[in-house]
Amino acid sequence: MSDQPPASNALLSGKTVVLGVSGSIAAYKSADLVSELRRAGADVFVVMTEAASHFITSLTLGTLSRNPVTTSMWEEEGGWEPGHIELADRADMLLVAPATANQIGNFANGCAPDVLSSIYLATKGKVMMVPAMNGKMYHHPTTQANLAKLGELGVQVIEPVEGELACGYEGSGKMASIATILKKTIDSLTPAS
């Protein structure tokens, strides 16, 4: 089976995807992911960690998503309801791509030092994580234990692929393709026919 998404533009129509972007070199791929999610009909809201802002700008992701980008709990404005809780309530899916070892650890252990992990703790919708990191970090027993714990909590994980990593190593740890992420998101959010 091909990992190319079906051709229809409306497969995610009416769905809200909160895209979490954490501080991996793979964060640059989130621009294409936002575009493809929107092309599939999703309303996309991006949440960036501070570390992610060193790899891609909120201006880029806000322009592509056509929605404000959340970067901090301390910059929330626009009403009495905390913005991170509002986003968590709206999310049909919280999709974290790329997901760093740090973010995986925060999620697995209920830590909320940033707006993205706070949204995770408040999200009742589906959660999908797409790890991207050095292969040694990915295979470390702590990272694997955290991923297993998240799996037990119902978090879907799209495994990284083999390839050349930004650090110069070859091996697993490379973020899955945008086509794979999009297909798995569509499969998770649309009923089987």
* CB distance 49 to 22 below 8 Å: yes
Element (H, E) at 62: helix 58-65
Taking phi over 0 as left and psi of -120 to 50 as alpha, with beta for the rest, 61 belongs to alpha
Note if the bond before 98 is cis, omega within 30 degrees. yes
Q: How many CB atoms within 10 Å of residue 122? A: 17
Please indicate whether residue 167 is annotated as part of the active site: yes
Tokens of 186: 């569509």
The catalytic residue among 8, 13, 167, 187 is 167
Torsion of CA 35, 32, 124, 130, to 10 degrees: 160
Phi, psi of 108 (to 5 degrees): -65, -30
Cα–Cα distance, 98 to 77 (Å, whole number): 26
Give the residue numbers annotated as catalytic, written as ranges: 167
